[in-house]
Every structure is written in C-alpha cells, then in structure tokens.
Amino acid sequence: MNLVRYLGWRIVQGIFVVLGAVVVSFLITNLAGNPSDVIGGGLLTPAQRAQIGHQLGYDRPVLVRLGDYVTGVLHGDFGSSWRTGQSALGLVLKALPNTLILIACAMTLALLLAVPIALYSVLRRETRVDRSARATMMLVAALPDFWIALLLVLLLSVNLGALPSIGFDSPRSLIMPALAIGLPLIPTSVRLLRAALLDVVSQDFITTLRAKGLGEGTIVTRYALKHAAGPFVTLLAMQVGWLLGGTIIVEVIFAWPGMGSLLQDAVTNHDIAVIQAAVVIVATGYVLLNLAGDVLIALMDPRIRVGAR
C-alpha cells in the first residue's frame, strides 16, 4: 500500500480518536451534572449549589456546553484549574515529560530483560528451564504494580536506605519507580515477542536459512528477530500508550511529579478542567505513539519502502 496514503488515513483516524476522547472526557466529568455537591462536600444550601452551578455554567444545556468545550479545545483552551487558576493544558504539559521519562526507563528495563528471555524461550522450547521461566512470568504478571512499588520501598529505601523514594531529585530516584512499572511489563512483552518469533520461524525463508547451513541460534537472533520486530513494535506502542495513564498509582507512591500525581491531586480537588485536559492529552499521546510505531515499521519493511517492481 502506498506509504503516504496509509499514513494519511491513520492520521485521520487519529484525529477522530482524539476528538472522541475530548467528548468522552467531557461526558465523564459531567456525569453527575452540577458538581457543586461534591466540591462543597455536601454542606451547601440549595441556593448556594445553584449559584455555584450557575457560576461554573452548569445551568446551560449539555450540548451547548459540549460545543463550547470542543471549540475551546480546538483553540488550545482547556480551561483552567479552578483551584490555582493556571491553564489546565499548561499543568498537564508540564507534568507530561516526567511521566514520559519514567515510562521510557521502565520500557527499556523491561525490554532488556524481555528480549533475551523470549529468545531463549524460542530456542529452548519446552525444556524445563523454558517452562519454569514461563511459570515465573505468570507469577510476575499477577503482581500489582503498587505492591511491587511498596515492596521495593520497603527493601531498598526503608531497610537499606539505598535509594530515594520521594520525588525526582536525581537519576537515582528513577530506579524504583521504573522497576515498579517495568517489571509487570516483562511477562506480556515476553509473550508477545515469543509469539511473533514462533510465527516467523515457521515461514519458508527460515528453511532456506537452515539450508544455507546456519545454526538455529544465529537464525533466531540475527534473522527472525528482525522479522518479529514488526508485529512486536505495534503491540509495544499500544502498551506504552496505555502506560501513559497507567503510572498513576506508582507516581503517587513515589511522589513523582508526573501526570499521575497531577491527576490524583485533580481528583481530590475535583479539578475537572485538569482531568479533562489530561484525558485528551493521553489519548493524543497514544495516537501519536501508534503512528510513530507504524511509521517505524513501514520504514523497516522494504516491501513498503521500496514498492513493487
């Protein structure tokens, strides 16, 4: 398929997704209508509730408010945090890089372990080591990320005093949160990569490689891996996209100044504008990441890059 046309279509899809996210974020935060009850802690008189509601614009029809919101978004205006008055979008964008750094580290860590495990699993299929490795993966996959985080804090920070457990002061602060997020990623990554590799290894050109006298190890690590990268990268991009919103609890535990902590604060303070902005940014991030993944794959595949004869 023509690369440009494919990308164009994907961009259009992405725009729809982002718009959808805008609508969804609006709808969710307006589930309960006038939020003055929740904001005021249920201590307000009906008159006060009505007044706050009017101030925040909740007495207008839903669709009108939705329209206003969408128009605002298209101009880059996500409203302001009603608590601090700062631009909601600004707050989110300030916190975003910290979360991204965390995710990048977690992903790198996960891949550093997942790739060798997957390769080994393919080369030594169904041996006892392979089976015990897979059982271990199952166990790791069941561990809640916040529990891992607390265990790490317990072991490394409390007992050994080795690593900082609060905030983002130095690269060392990265270690524990990255571990807490990265470890649960390993089992899924191993499974995806292993499946992709097994799929590649069953194809005809692998027989040709064997017929050339190349050993299984060389074939899997130097050839099959390149071919498996495609489907693997696609799924990986999806996972990373999910992580954008999945770091919340770990960030809270480590007081990491990222989107997660921001969201938690916003929820506690019922800061709706910030939450809405966060949802839209996360969705946009997901779309961009997947797009980047697709572009990467397309570039790697000569069939798309060079085109037919």
Partner 1 sequence: MTAHAVREALPARRARVRLPFKGQTTLRLGLAILLAMMAVGVLGRVALPSADQQDLANAFAAPGSPGHLLGTDQLGRDVLAWISDGIWIALAVALGVVVISSVVGVAVGLCAGYFGGVADMLLMRLVDLSLAIPPLILFLAAAAVLRTSIVTLILLISAVSWLPYARLVRSVTLLERERGYVITARLAGASRTRILVGHLLPSVSTVVLVLASLQVGYVLLWESGLSFLGLGVRPPHHSLGYIIAQGRDSLQQAWWVVVLPGAALALLVLAANLIGDGLRDLIQQDVEVAER
Partner 2 sequence: MSVVAARSVTVEARRGTWRRVVDTIDLELEPGTVVGLVGESGAGKTLFTRALVGLLPGGTRASGTIVLGGREYDARKGARSALGRDAALVQQNPITALDPLARVRKQLVDGVLRLGLMKHEAADARARELLGRLGFNDVERVLRLYPHQLSGGMAQRVCVALALMPSPELLIVDEPTSALDANVRVRVLELIRELAIEQRAAVVFVSHDLSLVGRFCDRLVVLYAGRIVEQGDTTDVMGVPRHPYTQALLGCAVTTEAVPRQPLTSIAGAPPAPEEWPAGCVFAPRCPHAWERCVAERPQPTVLSSSHQPRDAACHLVEEAGAAAPRPQLVTKEVERRA
- Which residues of the chain form contacts with partner 1 (CB under 8 A)? 13, 16-18, 20-21, 24-25, 28-32, 35, 38, 138-139, 141-144, 146-147, 150-151, 153-154, 158, 238, 241-246, 248-249, 252-253, 263-264, 266-267, 270-272, 275-276, 278-279, 282-283, 286-287
Return the residues of window 172-211 that contact partner 2 according to CB under 8 A: 203-205, 207-211
Structure-token pair, residue 220: 């899997």
Within positions 225 to 244, which residues make up the interface with partner 2, using CB under 8 A? 226-227
Q: Print the SS3 string covering 130-150.
A: HHHHHHHHHHHHCCCHHHHHH
Residue 202 or 268 having the CB closest to partner 2: 202
Q: Cβ distance 220 to 150 under 8 Å?
A: no
Cβ nearer to partner 1, comparing 191 with 227: 191
Which lies closer to partner 1 via its Cβ, residue 220 or residue 263?
263
For the CB of residue 230, give the shortest distance to partner 2 in the complex, in Å: 10
* Rounded Cα distance, 146 and 153, in Å: 10
d(CA 278, CA 276) in angstroms, rounded, equals 5
Q: How far apart are CA 4 and CA 295, in angstroms?
A: 10
CB of 203 to partner 2, least distance (A): 7
Query: In this structure, are residues 260 and 247 in contact, taking their beta carbons and an 8 Å threshold?
Result: yes
Beta strands, E only, the chain:
none
Contacts of 15 (CB under 8 A, 6+ apart): none
In the block, tokens 């506690």 appear at 268
CB nearer to partner 2: pick between 192 and 206: 206
Nearer to partner 2, 36 or 121 (CB): 121
Closest contact distance (angstroms) between CB of 269 and partner 1 is 8
Q: Does 126 bind partner 2 (CB under 8 A)?
A: no
CB of 43 to partner 1, least distance (A): 14
Q: Is 2 in the site for partner 2 (CB under 8 A)?
A: no
The answer to the question of residue 301 lying near partner 2 (CB under 8 A) is yes
Report the distance separating Cα 157 and Cα 151, nearest Å: 10
3-state secondary structure of 80: strand
Record the tokens describing residue 16, joined without a space.
């729809």
| Contacting positions for partner 2 (CB under 8 A) | 203-205, 207-214, 218, 223, 226-227, 300-303, 306, 308-309
